[in-house]
Chains A and B, each alone.
Chain A
Amino acid sequence: MTPEQKVPVTILTGFLGSGKTTLLNRILSEEHGKRIAVIENEYGEVGIDQGLVINADEEVFEMSNGCICCTVRGDLIRVLGNLMKRRDKFDYVLVETTGLADPGPVAQTFFMDDEIRNEFSLDGIVTLVDAAHIDQQLGRSDESSEQVAFADVLVLNKTDLVSDESLDILESRLRDMNRMARVVRSKQADVPIDTVLNLSAFDLDQVLKRRPTFLEPEYPFEWTGVFSLEKGRHELSLEEGPDPTMSLVVLEDQGIDEAALNAGAESCVRLYSNSAELLHPGSTVPIEKHVSLQLQSNGRKSFFLELDNAQQIGLFTQHTAEEFDIQVARVDSSITKTKSDGKNESVIQPDNERIWVAEHEHDDEVGSIAIERLGDVDPEKLNKWLSRLLSEKGVDIFRTKGFISYAGESRRMVFQGVHMLFTAQPDKEWGSEPRHNQLVFIGRNLDEKEMCREFDKCLV
């Protein structure tokens, strides 16, 4: 059986009231040319009136060996085992789970059972999140955080019931927990069908083709301020903050709309990856250079900006403006002489400000760890480490995705795993692209520093 012939399966999870049935009905009623079979749990929220709907009790089967990755959903094996004989009637399967379901066994069913694996391919896990209630749910139950952790797509639903500000905070919390997932906002589960179906989220080739770096961006800076400045000398002053130094990049001609901010952020990421030049107070800040402001001395510290012409400049700072009370002011020594002492200052307000996804803002047990490193790894060392890691921590590691550069291998190796199940396969040729590695682990109580250290030991 070739992969093309396999029937794609989407798993739809989410707590009671998150809008699963609404989304299901929307998918079933829309003209998409697919014949969808729905496997619904017995305690569905509302009946579904279209299509081929099969009810199944959620039966989680553990094995005598106690291995968590062997745990599967018996009801799905039974129902799908029969459905595979009805290929004439459908070409897509949707599995809806109850809010109490652990997505692990559902996903594992598609890898552990050979008959199911031959006929079906897991396309993606879509988790609906009730924007108004998820905060409480995440605190109260393991299942809801696991459903967030397993997701390829998080549909942040019922956004009309929550303020924009709370949504931003919530989205950042969800991203902290699962950095692989795409977050889509909706009011009444009204998301475009192609954001939830045919994702090929478990086909890493496909994922990497569409999103060469599948990580959601998490920038090394937290704040951007765009200021309209005139030609001449300006002062950038800061108070003491939590850290003795702070990284900064200044960009010229920075626009204030969303696209311009994102473009600026992306070019800044590149600049931030260069090592920073240490600047002492009183120095002039170079443009488009990664600098680290030395802030150890007491009191307010000043740095300077020299501009050849009037323009909008963007400050991309490692920490938020608030933390160091960053101020930009005009230092006018030649043109305007409004004051006698020659050190005239007037604080300039930013045209626009932006706070980027803040790292580790919340203390959720469930979180993502991303390891990004340049260079090659030793396949044997990596294999040893991963085998040990997954056998020791497999219960707590929900999903793994990534690509690796093996020493001596001309192609990129792509990885993915669910709990202890793990596959690696060669993907495209590296060609002239610099060799690098990107691995994401989503799990509970993972020790980021330890994992990074162990990974670094695998580097050649």
Chain B
Amino acid sequence: MPGVEGFSPQGMLHEGWTAEVEYYAIVCGWTLGGKALLVGDVAGGLYSFEGKSGTPLWQKKEVHKGGLLALSIHPDGDIFATSGQDGRVLIWNSEEGESTNVIELGDGWVEHLRWSPDGRFLAVAFSRRVHVYGIDGHEHWKSGEHPSTVSSIAWSKSNELASACYGRVTFFDVVSDKINQMLEWRGSLVSMVLSPDGDIVACGSQDNSVHFWRRSTEEDSEMTGYPGKPSHLAFYQTGTVLATGGSDRVTVWSFQDDGPEGTVPGELMLHTEPISCLAFSHSGMLLASGARDGSVFSWFLQADGQGDPVGGAFSGDLVSQIAWHPDDTALAAINANGGITVWEFKVRTKTSPQGFE
């Protein structure tokens, strides 16, 4: 990779294990309460590794004809769903890697999947509609046609689903089948995250800005000045801080007091190429970021959006996704070359191995 030389893990990131899959690794996540790491490649290969050692547990090839597009792991970690270019959604058990249900949507790409927070529903974006299924694969609900292809979906509550497409964000009550709210803005929304309390909707936009709304007031704002498209967004658990990509630095907006309008964001600078993924830890104000240059950093953030690096590592190629272990003791990264790296995340007690003892 240009711009960056390989380097060994630093700070709180420690050597863990590495593995490889055949093609560009696009999705990953921890299953079975963190006992296994699941990785999917672009050609439709699925791989499960033992979480601590990296020992392969099982693997499947070409689970979606044409290629795999999305993965969502059920909140309890025992099952997960995949979708692909074949217009199908598959539901799997994590332990054996057996497909338990098949949902056929038709001719087209299925690009987005999300389990509801209570695990009852699986939301699926297919072209201009969103469908909601139960664990058994039966359809519970589907939306009307959106004005353009749905670009992102997210659950605000266990029965309320948000969808983003060109020009609007819509909130659907999927149980009583009604539209709760529609937020409109003429722009191409390419990504969406909701604050954990559900009040703030943040969308990355094609015109190199982040657009957000506060649902309670329907007021909206736009954060501009990004050199690139901020496709990657992540909210801190309390919703006070939003981390965004869109350049080679992580831009962090703080929602405390009257922010972020009129405030200066925190900027985390160590990557040499644009940010390609962002993830907050499950507890604590720790952010992990990966970039096109293959570098991965973890940051300790403050409430005002400023932050300091606490760990760094090199994954070898464009980092396509990063995932914190459920208890935040490890960080997994997958890359465009099919590389998988898992680092232990812990305090480095000694500065040099020859120190004490």
Contact = CB atoms under 8 A, between A and B. Distances in A.
B148 A74 contact: yes
A88 interface: yes
B53 to A, nearest CB: 28
A82 B149 contact: no
Contacts of B111: 78
B292 to A, nearest CB: 8
Most chain A beta-carbon contacts within 10 A, residue among B42, B67, B231: B42
B203 to A, nearest CB: 12
Interface in A103-118: 113-115
Interface string A78-96: 1000100110100000000
B158 interface: no
A340 interface: no
A64 B274 contact: no
Interface stretch (B95-103, B185-193, B252-260, B298-306): B185-193
B85 to A, nearest CB: 8
Interface string A48-78: 0000001101010111110000101011011
Contacts of A74: 148-149, 151, 166, 188, 206
A73 B23 CA distance: 28
Interface residue tally on A, bucketed by range: 20 to 34
A326 B185 CA distance: 67
B11 interface: no
A59 B148 contact: yes
Looking at A72, A75, A82, the one whose CB has the most chain B CB atoms below 10 A away is A82
B69 A72 contact: no
B324 interface: no
A327 B336 CA distance: 75
A61 B166 contact: yes
Given A59-B148, A59-B149, A70 B207 contact: yes
A97 B146 CA distance: 22
A88 B22 CA distance: 11
Contacts of B42: 82, 85-86
Nearest to B336: A85
Nearest to B107: A55
B228 interface: yes
A172 B73 CA distance: 62
A78 B228 CA distance: 16
B64 interface: no
Contact of A114 (B185, B188, B274): B274
Given A62-B186, A86-B42, A57 B228 contact: no
Interface in B1-48: 23-24, 26, 42-43
Contacts of B207: 63-65, 70
A125 to B, nearest CB: 22
A86 B206 contact: no
B229 interface: yes
A101 B85 CA distance: 25
Nearest to A59: B148
Nearest to B148: A59
B188 A63 contact: yes
Looking at chain B, what size class is its interface with the partner chain?
Answer: 20 to 34
A85 B166 contact: no
B108 interface: yes
A113 B190 CA distance: 12
Given A62-B186, A72-B188, A114-B274, A57 B67 contact: no
Contacts of B43: 86, 88
Contacts of A86: 24, 42-43, 67
A54 B108 CA distance: 9
Q: Which of B26, B108, B231: most chain A CB closer than 10 A?
A: B108
A57 B149 CA distance: 9
A75 B166 CA distance: 11
Interface string B154-181: 0000000000001000000000000000
B229 A115 contact: yes
A357 B85 CA distance: 50
A380 to B, nearest CB: 26
B114 to A, nearest CB: 18
A65 B224 CA distance: 12
B166 A88 contact: no
A75 B186 CA distance: 17
Contact of A63 (B109, B206, B274): B206
A61 B228 contact: no
Nearest to B274: A114
Contacts of B108: 55
A64 B67 contact: no
B187 A64 contact: yes
A112 to B, nearest CB: 8
A63 B167 CA distance: 9
A114 B23 contact: no
A113 B187 contact: no
A63 B149 contact: no
Interface string B326-338: 0000000000100
Contacts of B67: 82, 86
Interface string B178-216: 000000011110100000000000000111000000000
Contacts of A70: 206-207
Nearest to B208: A114
A77 B206 CA distance: 10
Interface in A5-59: 54-55, 57, 59
A59 B336 contact: no
Contacts of A65: 207
A113 B166 contact: no
B69 to A, nearest CB: 7
Interface string B226-242: 01110100000000000
A61 B206 contact: yes
A82 to B, nearest CB: 7
B26 to A, nearest CB: 6
B241 to A, nearest CB: 25
A349 B85 CA distance: 70
Contacts of A62: 186
A204 B23 CA distance: 35
A137 to B, nearest CB: 28
A59 B148 CA distance: 7
Given A59-B166, A114-B229, A64 B186 contact: yes
Given A74-B151, A86-B67, 10 more contacts: A54-B85, A59-B149, A63-B205, A64-B185, A64-B187, A70-B207, A72-B206, A85-B26, A86-B24, A115-B231
Pairs of residues from A and B, 8 with the lowest C-beta to C-beta distance, nearest first: A61-B188, A63-B207, A85-B24, A85-B42, A64-B187, A114-B228, A64-B186, A59-B148
29 contacts: A55-B108, A57-B149, A59-B166, A61-B148, A61-B188, A61-B206, A63-B205, A63-B207, A64-B186, A64-B187, A65-B207, A70-B206, A74-B148, A74-B149, A74-B151, A74-B166, A74-B188, A75-B149, A77-B206, A78-B111, A78-B149, A82-B42, A82-B67, A82-B69, A85-B336, A86-B42, A88-B23, A88-B43, A113-B229
